[in-house]
Each structure stands twice: as structure tokens, then as C-alpha cells.
Amino acid sequence: MAKIKIKQVKSKINSTLRQKRTLEALGIKKMQQTVELEATPQVLGMVNKVLH
């Protein structure tokens, strides 16, 4: 399966608690951190929730 790189470029300060937990579930803990994950439907759905 394909892999995607995800990078946090905007602060999560004004985001909702659900969005903060989604970022943690993706493995992103701080700004400018990049993670590489499999492009499964679950991961793509989480990315769409915090796309902004």
C-alpha cells in the first residue's frame, strides 16, 4: 500500500479537543513534525478531519 507524509504546519491551539486527539492519533506531537504512514482509509479520514 502507498505511504503518505503528513506534516503539521499550523498550531493546534485554537482547534477543538477532537482535532487535537486526532493529531495525536496520527503520531504528530509538535509543530513541523513529519510522520510517514500507510494510506489506509482510516488514516486518510483522520487527515481530512485536520486538513486545515
**pLDDT tens sequence across 1-52:** 899 999 999 999 999 999 999 999 999 999 999 999 999 999 999 999 998 8
Give the pLDDT score at 38: 97
Give the pLDDT confidence score for residue 52 in this predicted structure.
80
> Which domain does 32 fall in, by range?
3-49
- pLDDT in the model for residue 27: 95
pTM of the model: 0.86
pLDDT reported for residue 16: 95
Query: Which grid coordinates are listed for 45?
Result: 479520514
In whole angstroms, how large is the CA radius of gyration of the chain? 10
Q: How many domains does the chain contain in total?
A: 1
For 2, 12, 16, the CA distances from 39, given in Å and listed in that order, are 6, 23, 24
Domain with residue 22: its CATH number is: 3.30.1390.20
